[in-house]
Amino acid sequence: MTRTNLHIWTAYVTIILLAGSCTFQPPGYYIALSGSTQGTSYHITYESNDSINYQSEIDTLLRQFDLSLSTYEPASIISRINRDEKNVELSDLFINCYTASRQVFEESGGAFDITVAPVVNAWGFGFTEKSDPDSTMIDSLLQFVGMDKIKLENGKIIKDHPGVMLDVNAIAQGYAVDVVSEYLESKGITNYLVEIGGEVRTTGINPRGQIWRVGIDKPIDGIQIPGMQMEAIIRLKNRSLATSGNYRRFYMKDGVKYSHTIDPVTGYPVSHNLLSATVLADECMIADGFATAFMVLGLEKSEEILKNKKNLDAYLIFTDENGQYDVFYTPGLRKFLLKATD
């Protein structure tokens, strides 16, 4: 059988819908949808027994999602909390995302922290104008950062100080993937792939009758087109995958690279030899949260966490002492890993 690859371009990963030679299994009828949400694109493919196209329902779901969690939507619940409106009524979407965020905060030793918003904004990666911060400004903003400064009580968010703000962009795409996936499952769909901005969840098989495949990009600074140079391909079986990296969203100033991943302890963009972190978990929001946490923690501390968290797998790309790419991956990933050329 000849090889046919159909690539969909997304952030950090490439979804490979038709790939490789295989024991051919007659495919069912698959529907492919694409659109935009959260400032990025989505691609959804699912097997349909009844030919129903769920695009408008999914777009409505994603719109509801933004009205809860988008910091770019002034009327959203999160924006109202950030403006310090009182007694904001929370949605289930907000509460689930907040609860998962606190879980990843605790399990990552505070590396993942959604209260990092004021510093993310100051560095120019958030929802306000960039302010070229100096160390005095970072120190004063850090007084508003920390999950101990906010709590969820009796269905309401209570902040210690009006300056405390939330940014769930490191977990929201993954959560949106879960929400859409669960919607498809509620319709009895058992073979699907949902991808939003490079965060992916799959169940069952692809149109070729195979386990779904996702390509991980080489982390080359400034390369904006996913799939140009793939590092590896991961077979994703009934699982989610999310990738964080510092090679797409960063800027250079006076020869210094400022990445969009901020260490909530120092208030500064991280700088180390971990170039990209791909995490696999059952839920995409957990994968997404940990991918960001690992980019904060760097290689060694991420490996430590992975030793103790058997529900996570990861594929970490870093530079070695000679400046060459090297990879670390968890043992559980071995049998799902294909070289980019396979």
Q: Which residues bind ligand AMP (CB under 6 A)?
A: 112-114, 116, 120, 125-126, 167, 169-170, 244, 260-262, 264, 288, 291-292, 295-296
Q: Which stretch binds Mg ion (CB under 5 A): 56-64, 65-73, 243-251, 278-286?
A: 243-251
With respect to ligand AMP, which residue has the nearer C-beta, 146 or 204? Answer: 146
With respect to ligand AMP, which residue has the nearer C-beta, 112 or 329? Answer: 112
Q: How far is the CB of 289 from Mg ion (least distance, A)?
A: 6
How many angstroms separate the CA atoms of 258 and 31, rounded?
A: 40
Axis crossing angle, helix 169-186 with helix 55-69, rounded to the nearest 10: 150
**Whose CA is closest to 11, among 169, 189, 191?**
169
With respect to ligand AMP, which residue has the nearer C-beta, 118 or 126? Answer: 126
Taking CA atoms, 314 is separated from 231, 234, 324, in Å, by 14, 11, 20
Which of 195, 231, 288, 313 lies at the binding interface for Mg ion (CB under 5 A)?
A: 288
DSSP characters for 162-229? TT-----HHHHHHHHHHHHHHHHHHTT--SEEEEETTEEEEESB-TTSSBEEEEEEP--TT--STTSS
Q: Which stretch binds Mg ion (CB under 5 A): 102-110, 183-191, 286-294, 317-325?
A: 286-294
With respect to Mg ion, which residue has the nearer C-beta, 244 or 278? Answer: 244
The alpha carbon dihedral of 54, 56, 60, 65 has a sign of: positive
Q: Which tokens in the block code for residue 88?
A: 């904001």
Q: How far is the CB of 161 from Mg ion (least distance, A)?
A: 26
Q: Are 233 and 215 in contact (CB under 8 A)?
A: yes
233 near Mg ion (CB under 5 A): no
With respect to ligand AMP, which residue has the nearer C-beta, 151 or 249? Answer: 249
291 near Mg ion (CB under 5 A): yes
| 150 three-class SS | strand
How many angstroms separate the CA atoms of 128 and 71, rounded?
A: 10
Q: How far is the CB of 115 from Mg ion (least distance, A)?
A: 16
With respect to Mg ion, which residue has the nearer C-beta, 14 or 244? Answer: 244
Q: How far is the CB of 199 from Mg ion (least distance, A)?
A: 8
Residues 192-231 that bind Mg ion (CB under 5 A): none
Q: How far is the CB of 114 from ligand AMP (least distance, A)?
A: 5
